[in-house]
Structure 1
Amino acid sequence: MSHNAPRQAMTRRGVLAGLGALGLSSAFGLTACSTSAPGGAASSGDASEIDTIKLYGNALGEDSQKAAWQAVIAGWEKKSGKKVKPVIYPYDQASTQLALAAKSGSFNGVAQGPWQLLVPMGILADLSDLAEGMDLPRAVLDGLRLDGKLYMLPLTASGIGLVCDGRIADETGLKSGMTVEEFATALEKIKRQDPDLVPYAAVTKNPDLKDAVHWMWGWGSEVVTKDLKCTIGDSESVAAVEWYKELQDAKLTKSGVARTDARIMFARGQAVMYDDAPLANTFVKSNGGSAALQAAVRPLRRPTVQSLPSYNRFWGAGLSCSAGKGEKTSRDFISYAAGDLGAATALYEQSALPPADKNVADRIDALRKDTFQTSFADAVAEHARLGAWDTLSTTTQIDTAIGEGVASILAGQVGVQSGLNALRKKVDDALEQG
């Protein structure tokens, strides 16, 4: 299952548009800070070691991830004798801060965050060789490569999938492997048994309505093809969104729900099912869910249309690094974070993030005994897929457009066909810029 997006020519216009979509003014100029032609990896011929590398990201500034990353850094520093200098910023400022560092020529080290906007500048190292010794999901690697190069090594690789209260699922016949018709019937049964329950707290408003994509895929629409042509508005995507809206009209889902709302509703026992990442069981706890519900949380494989496969949108995180000066040191840190058993165990035990490398995951005793994570891997992660636009500098702009377009349809502001036709034009423009 390869969804490797071919590279379009990376123009200055495309770079600026991508930065604008990610929170920067399109008037923001970029200085010539690349060591190769735009769109390619910087040369690693002058790769060297340094005593201290920078780590750009938000993880060390968030309570849920801070302790885990402190353990990773401490472990690597002890092993390597080198130092890490954190450059911490909020998640929503990642694009701005990375672009500023690149513009100033000071970007040097390892980065978490939107690596896509740095690719056109030609300053990232190709990490393909690091992936060769790892057991990573082939579909994920295929979807992340650009011209055969891998600019971000995934530390965790999963998907956004369905999770449910297993107790109610057993009572109503809700299970993996259903058709969409059987799925809707199960939701109707839940509603009849308890009209106060929301059977499926699906995302029905932004910022998370890019969730509509995995349903379009399930109906057979590519959304964006490998040669970067948008198919939104085809009969398959129309049928998917019509079905999604029918669920809302029948009150099997609820209008005006974002992912954060769904997490709270699910934890409080107000909803039976919703879509989330593999952190779903931890969100139940953090949102005050009962111990009984925590024990009953169960992932489900997304229902299918006719004989077509179902998909989940990729969810994961990884690390990129600058090429040239200090590259060897940065690559050593990335290799350690991704492949060292102690580092991977810290990330899993303290942040509930299972490692992408199956070779490492299989060696973590607690993870092997974690029934939620192992079942999530089977039901969700194994069916995760990247969009062909996920490697473009305008990926956020495209996801935002999709969310806004589908939101207007669900709100009844525009018809399904006309709304998707208008959405296709916006996506085509963003694809051209990216």
Structure 2
Amino acid sequence: MKSTDISVRSASGLAGIEIGRRGLLQAGGIGAMLALLSGCVPAGGGRPSDSLTFTSWTFAGRSVGPVQAAAELYTRQTGVSVETKVYPFDRYLNQLVLAARGGRMTGIVHIDEEFMSTLATAEVIRPLDRVIDESLYPEFVRSAGMYRGTRFGMPWTQSAIGMVTNTELLSQLGADATAVRSIDDFTDLLRQIKRSDGSIIPYAPCTDVVQLKDFIPWVWAFGGDIYDGSRVTLGDDPSRQALDYWKMLLDEGLIQAGVDRDSARTLFAQGRVPIYDDAPQAYGIVPSMSTDPDLQRKMSCMPRPAVRGAGANLVWSQPLVALDDSARTTEALRFFSTDEAALRVIFEGQGAPPITLAALGAPWFAGIDFQSRWTETIASNARRNPLWEFPIATSAQRVLNEAVEQGLRGSLSTEHTLKECREALSELLEVRAD
């Protein structure tokens, strides 16, 4: 995001940042800014209109077709036209808040759930507790869309970030992912891959500073929390073990520095990585990037190892939120969240998984072995990102990302890195709109 975003900006290394009260003031007075935003939002419902406004970054991307098709289904069923609005993803949150606070926007908005705490704290989105019928969704879907006990997100597409595998490549390398029961088993698996072919990167989580949320499930795998609902727990034994584990994987060449999601997908498509972290859209996206016509058939997933039982995966969630309380907006939320034809169009067009119990069990989805296995193995064992509970989750995620990157570089000790990160995140927890 740009320097004008509603977020804490910091220097490239955690050791060089000040995210104390002075740091927040230097970063633009985030608490005051959110308070200002809250005071600028009209209290009433939506304005009468012959159309529904639907805001999404996808209306400017390659995935516009399926979402547009779903919007056309809505129009055919309701007679209400859809007015699309789009902002680039890298400026999405900032532009959305600026437009909403001026009362220039109504309707429904597609968001990354990481944005929700900022929008809810700024009071530009509406509670949906009375709108949603939670019995339509499985538990792992109902666990998302919340901020501080209130539902603001209507499920639209959701799953989890888990371990994608190339079963045939693993077999060729003499590695059996089905035998992994512990973190030590997983490490042995990666070392076996490396011994079989030194040119292979055994595992490719995101290690680039912009996407280091892949580190969070590994803290869980070692028994930690990061944030337990009342305090930041970084610096405890599990978080130190997780960071030291990643440093060991990096030192042994079992993972690689500077990997983002796109580069991990490319490496997997090229057959240079047999295990990497991704959402289930990988099944539709990655094969088209590969010269292997059978790659999709070879794709599967594996449970995340942990010190006790199966490790939890990170919820991946892109819900819809409401900018007004009108009946039209409410009905549109219900349609896009629950209409099976609309959910199918989006899944088949861009790989985004559906979220209702009916759609998850439908043959067009559950009949695909990869997707049914993913739902059972990965999505059903997923946890919310604990940083989503922060008033400005995007800033909290950036602080953690920079800390983990610095820890992997070894410029500070694990203990010092996590201590500074804990202090910075604890300061962010105090940011409130009065």
TM-score bracket, normalised by the shorter chain, equals 0.7 to 0.9
1:5 match: none
Candidates 91, 96, 99, aligned match of 1:98: 96
Secondary structure of 2:315's counterpart equals strand
Give the SS at the match of 1:230. Answer: coil
Match of 2:24 in 1: none
For residues 264 and 123 of structure 2, the distance between their equivalents in structure 1, rounded to whole angstroms, comes to 40
Q: What is the match of residue 330 of structure 1?
A: 329
Give the deviation of 1:116 after TM superposition. 2.7
Partner of 2:18: none
The reply to whether residue 219 of structure 1 matches residue 222 of structure 2 is yes
What is the CA–CA distance in structure 2 between the aligned matches of 1:177 and 1:136, rounded to whole Å? Answer: 31
**% identical equivalent positions:** 24
Aligned residue for 2:7?
A: 20
Query: C-alpha displacement at 1:317, in angstroms?
Result: 1.0
- Residue 110, structure 1, aligned to residue 97, structure 2: no
Shift of 1:308: 4.7
Corresponding residue of 1:32? 39
Deviations 1:385-406 (A, max 9, x none): 1133314341111111111111
Structure 2 letter corresponding to 1:411: R
Query: What is the one-letter code of the residue matched to 1:395?
Result: A
Write the mapping of 1:304-383 to structure 2, written as runs, cut at 5 A: 304-305=306-307, 307-324=308-325, 327-363=326-362, 365-383=363-381
Going from structure 1 to structure 2, the CA distance change for 1:146 and 1:262 (only over 3 Å counts) comes to: closer
* Matches for 1:15-414 after TM superposition, within 5 Å: 19-21=6-8, 26=29, 30=37, 32-34=39-41, 50-63=49-62, 65-113=63-111, 114-146=115-147, 148-170=149-171, 171-175=174-178, 178-227=181-230, 229-305=231-307, 307-324=308-325, 327-363=326-362, 365-414=363-412
CA contact (8 A) 2:141 2:355 kept: no
Give the letter aligned to residue 419 of structure 1: T
**Cα distance between partner residues in 2 of 1:56 and 1:22:** 26
Cα-to-partner distance string for 1:175-198 (whole Å, 9 max, x where unaligned): 275200001111111111111111
The C-alpha deviation readout for 1:286-334, integer Å capped at 9, x for no partner, is 32241222210111110111x254111110211011234xx21111111
Contact 1:207 1:400 in 2 (8 A): yes
Give the match's secondary structure for 1:86: strand
Distance of 1:100 and 1:225 partners within structure 2: 32
2: CA distance between counterparts of 1:387 and 1:185?
28
**Contact conserved, 1:177 with 1:304, CA < 8 A, in 2?**
no
- 1:117 Cα deviation (Å)? 2.0
Matched letter for residue 178 of structure 1: R
> Quick one: distance in 2 between partners of 1:367 and 1:408?
41
Query: Structure 1 stretches of 5 or more lacking a match?
Result: 1-16, 37-42
Letter in 2 for 1:388: P
SS in 2 for 1:163: strand
CA distance in 1, matches of 2:46, 2:57: 26
Distance 2:55 2:144 in 1: 24
Query: Any conservation in 2 of the 1:140–1:385 contact (CA below 8 Å)?
Result: no
Q: Which digits, 9 at most, give the CA deviation of each residue in 1:232-270, with x for residues without a partner?
A: 110111011111111111111122222222111111111
State the distance in 2 between where 1:431 and 1:328 align.
Answer: 35
TM-score scaled to structure 2, two decimals?
0.87
State the shift of 1:70 in Å.
1.0
Cα distance in 2, alignment partners of residues 99 and 404 from structure 1:
25
Aligned residues of 1:102 and 1:118 also touching (Cα < 8 A):
no
Query: Quick check: 1:277–1:315 contact (8 Å CA) kept in 2?
Result: yes
1:28-65 C-alpha deviation (Å, 9 max, x unpaired): 653733356xxxxxx7xx678642221111111111x2
**Deviation of the 1:124 alpha carbon:** 2.3
Aligned residues: CA RMSD? 2.4
Kindly provide the CA deviation profile for residues 318-370 of structure 1, in whole angstroms up to 9, marking residues without a partner as x. Answer: 1011234xx2111111111111111011011101112111222323x321221
Distance 2:88 2:228 in 1: 33
- AA partner of residue 7 (structure 2): G
Q: CA deviation at 1:150?
A: 1.0
Cα distance in 2 for residues equivalent to 1:260 and 1:139 = 26
The runs of 5 or more residues in structure 2 that have no matched partner are: 11-26
Q: Secondary structure at the match of 2:160?
A: strand
Q: Secondary structure at the match of 2:178?
A: coil
TM superposition shift of 1:221: 1.1
Sort the Cα spacing of 1:100 and 1:233 in 2 relative to 1 into closer, same or farther, 3 A: same
TM-score with structure 1 setting the length: 0.87
Check conservation: 1:18, 1:433, Cα contact below 8 A.
Answer: no
Residue 25 of structure 1: how far off its partner (Å): 5.6
